[in-house]
Structure 1
Amino acid sequence: MVFLVFSLFIDGAQLGEYMYLFALNLEPIFQLTFVSLIMLAGPAVIFLLAFRNGDL
């Protein structure tokens, strides 16, 4: 009985749609994080140069 009910939801398209709802793609999150860190590194170096009177 359980196998029969479970087999109703194992259709390929339906299973893919349900798994897509729970999937979390971490690659764009990491890419945006590292791009923002790289973009913040430039002004941080300029600020350190100005704060330390040009002596790193």
Structure 2
Amino acid sequence: MFGFDKDLVNSVVAFNHVFTGTIIVIIGLLSFNILGISIASVFNVKMDEKTETNIVEEIDK
């Protein structure tokens, strides 16, 4: 291939695959973190509402 060393070409291609794979994983983790934060905040809101009603019930007793 145009006088290139085959091993060099293969290593560059492999590096590119690893590099793009790493970027995809990082982007995936970042987007998952954003989703995870929103999911966690929703769960926290629900949990807070439940604990508040539990506290109110305890006071009523």
Cα shift at 1:32: 0.7
Candidates 32, 38, 45, aligned match of 1:31:
38
Q: What is the distance in 2 between the residues matched to 1:6 and 1:31?
A: 40
Residue matched to 1:8: 13
CA RMSD, Structure 1 to Structure 2 (Å):
2.6
Cα shift at 1:46: 1.0
Cα shift at 1:30: 0.9
Task: Say if 2:48 is the partner of 1:41.
Answer: yes
Instruction: Give the gaps of 5 or more residues in structure 1.
Output: none
Moved over 3 A (4+): none
Q: How does the TM-score come out when normalised to structure 1?
A: 0.58
Instruction: Give the gaps of 5 or more residues in structure 2.
Output: none
Give the number of the structure with larger relative contact order, counting CA–CA contacts within 8 Å between residues 6 or more apart: 1
The share of aligned pairs that are identical, in percent, is 6
Q: Deviations over 1:1-55 (max 9, x none)?
A: 7xx3442243xxx443x122x321311111111100001111211110110128x
Residues matched between the structures, number: 48
Higher fraction of helix = 2
